Amino acid sequence: MGNSIRKISMIVCYSKEAIRKELHKNNITMRKFCGYPALVDFNNEKLCLFYELFGYLYGDGSLHRRKDDNRFELTLYFSLDEKDLVERVAQITYALFSFCPIIKPDQSGYNIIFRKSFGRYLFTLNYPVGKKSIINPQFPSSITQKEDSYAFIR
């Protein structure tokens, strides 16, 4: 292991985008993606934390793909009376991925902005892109089939 898509593309003479599309089409993720661990690398405690974070993102978050450069934007919004959840999301994100999201308070709530690479990481885990009210996504089976997935509905 330890090879990047760029190195693999040089060996097999396919473009990086072709390899990414093929991996995504077959639901294959690299062992590590952008420095983030694969779900199989999490112990039970961290997996529960991940499910909790995924539930917050699924309920109040939004992942969009920018048309101009194909990058991802992942945001989460909480109202002013949910400051405890804002702090919880920041704690979980740091505990799992060693970075803190940007928290921007405004007059009506808190906008939490994650790294673009983290948005791409969630995309590889089948997190839905676009407005969930329009695309009506299904919960990813990789989440709902796990024993500890109850944390998803906290």
pLDDT in tens, the chain (154 residues): 345 556 565 656 667 677 667 766 766 555 445 678 877 788 888 888 988 998 898 888 888 888 887 788 999 999 999 999 999 999 999 999 989 999 999 999 999 999 998 988 888 877 888 766 665 556 555 555 555 545 445 5
Mark whether 70 and 89 lie in a shared domain.
Answer: yes
What is the number of structural domains in the chain? 2
Mark whether 18 and 88 lie in a shared domain.
Answer: no
3-state secondary structure of 61: strand
Enter the DSSP assignment of 139: P
- For tokens 């808190």, the residue is 110
Phi/psi of residue 5, each to 5°? -60, -35
Mark whether 24 and 52 lie in a shared domain.
Answer: no
* pLDDT tens string 95-124: 999 899 999 999 999 999 999 989 888 888
The pTM for the full model equals 0.68
44: which 2 tokens?
A: 């039970």
CB neighbour list of residue 99: distance below 8 Å, 6 or more residues apart: 93, 115, 118
The alpha-helical segments, DSSP class H, found in 61-150 are 83-97, 116-124, 132-135, 141-144
Mark whether 78 and 14 lie in a shared domain.
Answer: no
Enter the DSSP assignment of 24: H
- Using CA atoms, how far apart are residues 84 and 90, in angstroms rounded to an integer? 10
Domain extent, residue 15, equals 1-30
The helices-and-strands tally (H runs, E runs) of the chain is: 7, 6
Amino acid at 83: K
